[in-house]
Each structure stands twice: as C-alpha cells, then as structure tokens.
Amino acid sequence: MGDMIKPVNRILLVDDDAVTNMMHSRVIERSGRAKRIDVATDGQEALDIIRADLLAGSPLPELIFLDINMPGMGGFEFLEHYANLQINPDAQLIIVMLSTSLLEADHARAEADPNVHSFCDKPLRVEKLLELVEEFQIRMQMKRPAA
C-alpha cells in the first residue's frame, strides 16, 4: 500500500444493527480511508439519502456497505429501487453486500446483481476495507480520460 491511496469522501453504512454500525464506523475511522461516514438503518433511509444527493447534485457516497436482512426495506429490496434511480454511470458507486447469511441463494443473488460489487461476511475487516478503497481509486483512475 503506497501513499497513492486517497481516502474516499463518503461511505454509507446500511444496517439496522446499531452495534454493527458502531463497529464498522470504528474500523473505517481507524483505517483513515473515509472523510465522512453516513449511517442508514434500513434500505428506505439509504434510498432517501441517495435521492437527496441526486436532487441536490451532491456527490454520492462512493462505497455503500449494505446489509441483507433488515426490518422494513432489506438489502435486496433496496437494490431493486436503486436500479431505478437515474444515477450517472460515471458515479462509480461500489456497493458491497455485508451479511452473516450463509445462504448460497443470498450469495448467488448478490453476485447476480449488476450493481453489487462484492459480497462480504460481517464483520467488516480493515484489510477488506483497504482493498475496496484501493479498488475504488483504481476504477476512478481508469475512468479519467487520459490527458
């Protein structure tokens, strides 16, 4: 890991479990790889945050850690709505599904969704976070037109 890796501006945690959100926030803070952490406690709240950003023309969160099982709107339902948002393909959001679910069907469904970047078991570990942020930076650099 060189010094090339800049922190992302925003990470959105979507999980109904307060303890998990606290733990994950701490992992992210300790990594020094995000300037801001937003928390939504279900899919609906996460959609509201993203819609508000779109309306305001604000930058979207670069990384979204999405829990599968939440009361109200769960992770897969969030993805269905997310797919209908008019998001610029250059926006480069990386959605990572987080779950304690060992169900093969969940893994398969997450991997089949074009908006899901990867599936990762809880709890989120620093190494995994660093890997994702690095991947995000690489994708951004690839998107940039060569000068």
Q: What pLDDT, in 10s, does the model give residues 36-90?
A: 999 999 999 999 999 999 999 998 999 999 999 999 999 999 999 999 998 887 7
- pLDDT of 140 reads 79
- Report pLDDT for 3: 53
Side-by-side strand order, sheet with 8-14: 34-40, 8-14, 63-67, 94-99, 116-121
Residue 137: per-residue pLDDT: 85
pLDDT surpassing 70 at residue 18 = yes
State the CB neighbour count (10 A cutoff) for residue 46: 27
> Model-level pTM?
0.91
Domains of the chain: 8-143 (3.40.50.2300)
Q: What angle do CA 82, 45, 20 make, to 5 degrees?
A: 105
Angle at 106 between CA 85 and CA 90, to 5 degrees: 30
Q: Does 146 score more than 70 pLDDT?
A: no
DSSP summary character for residue 86: -
**pLDDT mean across residues, the chain:** 89
Q: Give the model confidence (pLDDT) of 102-137 as tens digits.
A: 788 988 999 899 999 988 889 999 999 999 889 888
Single-letter code of the amino acid located at 74? G
Under 8 Å between Cβ of 85 and 50: yes
